[in-house]
Structure 1
Amino acid sequence: MLITPAYAQAAGAGDTNSMLMSLLPFALIFVIMYFLILRPQQKKVRDHADLVKNIRRGDTVVTSGGLVGKVTKVVDDDQIEFEIADGVRVRQMRSMVSGVRAKGEPAKESKESAKEAAKDDAASK
């Protein structure tokens, strides 16, 4: 025969080091994907959920469809109503809001704190 007996022998079974080295690139690729793709995406989703949750009356919002308007009423947990022109109001799902351009006034200010703020303004002038 032309094949020598040395080539016909099986490889050693105790070669776990080479097996570990062959799996190392896959683990490294997964770690890189996690830090460059998955983690920033999860942060972006979390930030958007906070943005949508904190929408209140008076905020100027931009929807994913490109509409820009001022929030006139928060209907419920998943809908808002905003005005895109004088007398033109639109209802939109909260999740479709892509950004808040300008924050509105606080929800409701008590009469006493409003009077105190007016006195402070008058006293500073």
Structure 2
Amino acid sequence: MFISNAYAQSNPLESLGGAGGFLGQYGFLILMFVAMYFLMIRPQQKRAKEQKAMMEALAKGDEVVTAGGVLGKISKIADAYITLEISTGTELVVQKSAITMVLPKGTLKTL
């Protein structure tokens, strides 16, 4: 008689479609995928594109470094293989994908 009834306050987000709504439930997950795209996937795609462009631009006479660290000058180019001249009269056949970097002209003469 002297005490009035106490009612619990309703959650204002429940009116938006459940506890927290769509963005409340899945917003963090979506934000995580967007961050992973910009921090991991996009830079990797950019590096792959640059590597492909470098492979297509290889020409006879370019000085290159292989994945194993071998320095040489390109003497022949085939579809999948490249012949490197690593010293006078010594040639080495490597896969095209093993080329990691093209050196500036004249680098091998200074070594």
**TM-score grouping bracket, smaller chain normalisation:** 0.7 to 0.9
The alignment status of 1:15 with 2:18, answered yes or no, reads yes
Runs of 4+ off more than 6 Å: none
Counterpart selection for 1:98 from 76, 97, 100: 100
Cα deviation per residue 1:25-44 (whole Å; 9 max; x = unaligned)? 01001001101110000010
The alignment status of 1:51 with 2:35, answered yes or no, reads no
Gaps of 5+ in 1: 1-11, 105-125
Q: CA RMSD in A?
A: 2.2
Counterpart selection for 1:62 from 65, 74, 83: 65
Identity rate, percent: 36
Counterpart selection for 2:27 from 24, 49, 52: 24
Q: How much does 1:78 deviate? A: 1.1
- What is the alpha-carbon distance in structure 2 between the residues aligned to residue 46 and residue 52 of structure 1? 10
TM-score, with length taken from structure 2: 0.75
Gaps of 5+ in 2: 1-13, 107-111
More helix by share: 1
Q: How much does 1:52 deviate? A: 1.0
Q: How much does 1:19 deviate? A: 4.2
Cα deviation per residue 1:48-98 (whole Å; 9 max; x = unaligned)? 011011111010000001000001111x21111011111110011111100
- What is the alpha-carbon distance in structure 2 between the residues aligned to residue 79 and residue 98 of structure 1? 14
